[in-house]
Chains A and B, each alone.
Chain A
Amino acid sequence: MNRKHFLSSLLTLGAGTALPVLGAPARQVVKPVPPRVPDYLSTGDTIGITCPAGFITLKEIEPAIQQIESWGFKIKIGNTVDKRDFSFGGTDAERAADLQQMIDDPGLKAILCARGGYGAVRIVDRLDLSGLSNYPKWVIGFSDITVLLCHIHRNLNMAGIHSKMCNSFPDDWSKAEPVQIDSILSIRQALTGGMMQYPVVMNEKNRTGVAEGALVGGNLKTLETLSGTRSDIDTVGKILFVEDTGEYLYSIDRMFWNLERTGKLGGLQGLIVGGFKIKPDDPGEEFGHTLYDIVLDRVKAYNFPVAFDFPVGHQKNNYALKYGMSHRLTVTTEKVILEDHI
């Protein structure tokens, strides 16, 4: 089977939307396929906590457990919590087995990844997603967990939650900043099917317009490293959001070129740029363009709306997003609104 046929057959198995068109000149009308939406959570439902990437101790996730239990949910702690294999939360086999058990568990309504780091890509091809298909549940996380969110979107077209994880729950809730609390509570809001609200700071570089489509994306570097694989996402007709941390500007520029050259910008309905913690240029290697320049230059051939400084990323104001679900993005000169429940 040649690569073209291989890819197209994978895509047919996947989200069921059209093939991405390289360098497509304008927005395309693609009939959206509604995602499968797991049941929203009710009091007494159980959330599993697992570590598919970096390691974390049980002590470190106690604030998260207490908080989530106070919301009326039960917690099932996975075997990988408190496990460590160098930077990983257990060996590949252990992490895959823990996540697989949770995927297969009909008693779980959600799987919360304890933290990101690195490692999800090492186990994703070992996972059998049929348990998730049979017992739909929310997979929750961001950063390295972008791998799982993309993989599930691509292969099951099932919604997920892009949000903070256990390691971001404040130790002392009474001393936490309001924005931290709001970000954490947005996870509950998303899990229970509440209407989402995003406090977006206006940026004069925004490009105005209205977009509707499935919300997909995540960590930009992770998206690049999924290119060409069976976890790679199709973005045609969708709203793409990206965020990243610790990358050089030149590298961010290169990653936006990867989006362009893999056909992920041409067919977009809208673009949301979250937080980017930029690694300073090395002396003598000044890049000379800001993040805003980089993005606007890359999308100048298209006319979809672009919102900068959206509260998503490796930062305190990182609000939960319903991944893969239909949203409306409205960008005017005065405000940015992202609505679910449309």
Chain B
Amino acid sequence: MMHIPPYLQPGDTIALVCPAGYMAPERAQTCIETLRSWGYTVQVGKTMNSHSGNYFSGSDEERLVDLQQALDNPAVKAILCGRGGYGLSRIIDKIDFSVFEKNPKWIIGFSDITILHAHIYTNYKTASLHAPMAGAFNEGGAEEVYVASLRAAMEGKKARYTCDVHPFNRMGRATGSLVGGNLSLLAHLCGTTSEIKTKGRILFLEDVGEYLYNVDRMLYQLKRNGRLDKLAGLVIGGFTEMKDTMRPFGQTVQEIIRDMVKGYDYPVCYNFPVSHGGDNYALKHGMEYTLSVGTEVIILEE
């Protein structure tokens, strides 16, 4: 049985932390103001104002301590990550989840944060929020449906998302736990203690900036790990800014995936709004959803 952290109430505290790549403090201002305007108290972690001169938003120790404090502080009801980038692999095995396990709270983010979602799903059977992060509130994002979907999810509203039809969609209806995230990270986690099982579940995938051949190779890795064969359903999000080699790969991402899942019969939908491209609905990772892929309408609902 999944542990569902308590949904947020007015006045609750949301901690902002940056457990991976560096984020300029001013990039978080709109997010902080917006969360306050929604009635929450915002606790800004040290890694949100890092003096780091390199890639990371602080040393491994600084990032670990900041995240650990947010996990252990009983007043904090949700932890919103500033941004992804890279860095959780370096600290995931040092995080102490014992307090979190007894008093779960919502962990929010995507991209590199996929590691946290997968790790707490597999090891602590706890739901989390795959959703826009602090940076997504900028450039008008705070007024858009995607940030609004994060607010609704935190408040415990049940989501019902629709997306456009795609010629490769495979019709059907599936119910199961919704798991997944960034393909590169899911591949990177294979063989580790953070890896997720996917049997009987609805898997969602997205990625950014990868070579087409590498997307193919990572999907083969999932397939060879038995992560594609017994799915309830598959939700393909955005694969943005894809790159190709001098010798063209010859297939789009959608064609690669269509071929990859040919031998299975579960429903599949493409171009679902979960991505690095801005279209990024909040998804409750680990919670039960129903995916309906029809000829005219695609629905993913809790």
Contacts and interface: CB of A to CB of B under 8 A. Distances in A.
Contact of B213 (A118, A224, A231): A118
B53 A225 contact: no
Contacts of B216: 118, 122
Nearest to A229: B224
B249 interface: yes
B55 A250 contact: yes
Interface in A59-103: 85-87
Interface string A229-251: 11110000000000000000011
B249 A3 contact: no
Contact of A228 (B93, B217, B221, B250): B221
A262 B89 CA distance: 12
Interface in A178-233: 224-232
B213 A250 contact: no
A87 B225 contact: no
A228 B245 CA distance: 27
A289 interface: yes
A261 interface: yes
Interface stretch (B137-145, B184-192, B231-239): B184-192
A225 B54 contact: no
Contact of B218 (A23, A55, A225, A257): A225
A257 B249 contact: no
A228 B188 contact: no
B250 A87 contact: yes
A86 B216 CA distance: 14
Contacts of B250: 85-87
Interface in A111-154: 117-118, 121-122, 125
B40 interface: no
A262 B191 contact: yes
Contacts of A288: 53-56
A257 B191 contact: no
Contact of A87 (B188, B191, B224, B248): B248
B221 A226 contact: yes
Given A285-B55, A288-B53, A22 B221 contact: no
A287 B56 CA distance: 8
Contact of B86 (A225, A231, A253): A253
A286 interface: yes
Interface in B14-66: 21, 53-56
A258 B191 CA distance: 9
Interface in B223-261: 224-226, 245, 247-251
B54 A286 contact: yes
A335 interface: no
Nearest to B195: A228
Interface centre among B21, B216, B217 (most CB of A within 10 A): B217
Interface residues of B, number: 34
B89 A258 contact: yes
A87 B247 contact: yes
Contacts of B124: none
A228 B190 contact: yes
Contacts of B73: none
B54 A23 contact: no
A54 interface: yes
Interface in B61-88: 85-86
B89 A87 contact: no
Contacts of B251: 86
Given A228-B221, A286-B55, A288-B53, A261 B247 contact: no
Nearest to A246: B211
A125 B225 CA distance: 12
Contact of A229 (B53, B89, B225): B225
Nearest to B247: A87
Contacts of B224: 121, 125, 228-231
Interface string A22-57: 110000000000000000000000000000001100
A226 B223 CA distance: 11
Interface in A266-321: 281, 285-289
Nearest to B211: A118
B191 A287 contact: no
Contacts of A22: 193
B191 A232 contact: yes
A227 B249 contact: no
A217 to B, nearest CB: 16
B96 to A, nearest CB: 16
Contacts of B247: 54-55, 86-87, 117
B249 A87 contact: yes
A226 B218 CA distance: 9
B157 interface: no
A236 to B, nearest CB: 14
A23 B193 CA distance: 11
19 contacts: A3-B197, A22-B193, A85-B250, A121-B220, A227-B221, A228-B221, A229-B221, A229-B224, A232-B191, A254-B188, A257-B89, A258-B188, A261-B93, A261-B191, A285-B21, A286-B54, A286-B55, A287-B54, A288-B54
Top 6 closest pairs, chain A to chain B, by CB: A288-B54, A86-B250, A228-B191, A228-B190, A227-B191, A229-B224
Interface of A: 3, 22-23, 54-55, 85-87, 117-118, 121-122, 125, 224-232, 250-251, 253-255, 257-258, 261-262, 281, 285-289
Given A54-B247, A226-B221, 15 more contacts: A86-B249, A86-B250, A87-B248, A87-B249, A122-B216, A224-B187, A227-B191, A228-B224, A251-B86, A254-B86, A258-B191, A261-B191, A286-B54, A288-B53, A288-B54
